[in-house]
Structure 1
C-alpha cells in the first residue's frame, strides 16, 4: 500500500477557540434548556446566556461552528436555536460540505 505524501495536521487547532470561550467553566444549563422549559423562564435563561456571549472573544468562531455543523440545541455564538434555523433557511449562512 502506498504511503501518503502528507499526513493530516493535528485537529486541536480547529477547536482551540473553545478554550478561550467565556462559557468555559459555566454550567451548561445556562446555554441548554431543560425539558419542558417555556415562556419567561426560558427567555430569561437565554438572555443570561446571550449576555455572556456578547462578552466573549470567540463569539464569531462559536457562531460559525454552530451554523456550519447545524447545532440543533442551545445558545451558540449568541444565537438561539430558532435564530440559527432562520439564518440557515434564509440563506444567511451556508453550511460547509
Structure 2
C-alpha cells in the first residue's frame, strides 16, 4: 500500500491534513533522500520549466476549474490582473529611467 492510499483510506488523517500538504512533505522527504544518495548534481534549467513543465500545469488547472468558481471570482481576478499590470509598468519604468539617468551621469 502506498502512502497516498493509506491517506485516502484514513478519514481521520484526511480531515486534519490536506492532501496537498502531504504531497509537499512527501516531496521534501524524497528530495532529502535523493540529495544524500545521489552523486550527480541535478540542475533544472529555467527554459525547461517555463516552456515544458509550467504550461501543462496551468492549462490543466484552467481546464478543470469549475465555471461557477471562475465567474464568482471574476472581480478579484480582474483586479489582480489590472493592478498587477499597472504595478509592473510603473516599476519597470522607474528602474529603466533610474538606470538611464545613472548612465547619463557616468558619461558626463
Q: TM-score, normalised by structure 1?
A: 0.31
Provide the TM-score with structure 2 as the length reference: 0.28
Q: Which has the higher contact order (CA 8 A, sep 6+)?
A: 1
Larger Rg: 2
Tell me which protein shows more helix as a share of its residues. 2
